[in-house]
Amino acid sequence: MAVSYKELGLANTKTLFQKAVAGGYAIPAYNFNNLEQLQAILQACVETKSPVILQVSSGARKYANATLLRNMARGAVEYVKELGYEIPIVLHLDHGDTFELCKDCIDSGFSSVMIDGSHHSYEDNIALTRKVVEYAHAHDVSVEGELGVLAGVEDDVVAEHSSYTKPEEVEDFVKRTGVDSLAISIGTSHGAHKFTPAQCTKNADGVLVPPPLKFEILEEIEKRIPGFPIVLHGSSSVPVEHVNTINQYGGAMKAAVGIPEEQLRRAASSAVCKINIDSDGRLAMTAAIRKVMAENPSEFDPRKYLGPARDELKKLYMHKNINVLGSANKA
């Protein structure tokens, strides 16, 4: 039996994106797979008064169960009321790769879906995206498409090489598909190891510095589709403090480099109105768990290590909302 996202008390992205583009900020899109991640996301966004996009990958649906995730999203709406400040919540499918998957999510209460046809030819990408748009819009659900390919590995998304979005294609793609937002490739990538050491330079402190994002591509896209909502995937910054903690307590995160936060802030001030962050959250939680387990080797109560992991994740996401995305006080 199909369930409308409106029955769950969720929002789609249309009005939220219009406000974000006009206001020069980006809405956080945070992935979740379990209770602690969801708690941290909602607490951080309520306390900073930020709208939020709860992202679910196909891998998350397999891990946590589609029905449980939907009911967690339903509970999220009630939970923010208990926290004392209601914020807009979007439930979004991240990197859907088939029409069938997108349809299933729409029918189960998602308010937004991404159809990633970037691995197909240009014409096949348009055809697949258009098919999803037609079904989604009949249910008032938002659709995100993608042009260009991001390298890296994250959940079910694997690409060895990236290809930048071609600005000359965006007008045609948006017009022919009818998408509500467009994910582009300007140098971000999936995972915690976004760049090889050979691609980076070293600053005076010996820290690896990645190549800058291709803002000239973003600016050209903005000229061609002014005011249209743009999305950045693979936008974790890979905080060095979390990487160092993981390594200090037995991890092996070597040459992990992310996107500098000042570049993401610049992007969020443009037509980029949704920024996806997942790996940073994984690093924060893993760092906290490793520290607790190393300092308390006899501990076996999951609450005693998942609780600190949740708190560290909340702290990270509050920082992102306030200092990076600019979404604080925009709910």
Residues belonging to the active site: 94
**Which stretches of the chain are DSSP H helices?**
14-23, 35-47, 58-64, 66-83, 99-107, 122-137, 167-177, 215-224, 240-248, 261-268, 279-295, 302-319
Integer Cα distance of 285 and 316 in angstroms? 10
Q: Tell me the β-bridge partners of 29.
A: 53, 276
One-letter identity of residue 162:
S
Residue 129: strand pairing partners: none
Tell me the two tokens of residue 171. Answer: 């007008």
Q: What are the distances in angstroms from CA 107 to CA 32, 43, 172?
A: 20, 28, 29
CB 238 within 8 A of CB 210: no
Q: What six digits make up the tokens of 305?
A: 């290590």
